[in-house]
């Protein structure tokens, strides 16, 4: 089971980034999102942690830190 976390530093494009701890793009500082067993669940749980500054809460994120999206899986494979 992957653990998920978010970047708490909005100055580093944080608060919209969801990462696994194995992600090569994860920030130095991460806050674990408890109870998440999938990227979708991590997003849902993160909103209850007040992890996201954008209201209303959205499930579409532009930040490259959301490594569980297919584009990042592909990017990681090519590195």
Global pTM?
0.58
36 is in which domain, residue-wise? 4-77
Q: pLDDT (tens digit, 9 = 90+) per residue, 36-78?
A: 887 778 877 877 776 555 444 444 444 434 554 544 455 555 5
- Average of pLDDT values for 26-43? 80
Quote the number of domains for the chain: 1
> Do the Cβ atoms of 2 and 22 come closer than 8 Å?
yes
> Do the Cβ atoms of 64 and 48 come closer than 8 Å?
no
């Amino acid at each position: 089971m992957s653990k998920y976390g978010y970047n708490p530093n909005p100055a580093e494009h944080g608060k919209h980034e969801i990462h696994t701890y194995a992600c090569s793009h994860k920030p130095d500082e991460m806050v674990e999102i408890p109870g998440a067993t999938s990227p979708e669940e991590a997003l849902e749980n993160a909103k209850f942690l007040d992890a996201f500054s954008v209201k209303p809460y959205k499930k579409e994120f532009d930040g490259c830190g959301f490594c569980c999206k297919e584009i990042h899986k592909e990017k990681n494979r090519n590195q």
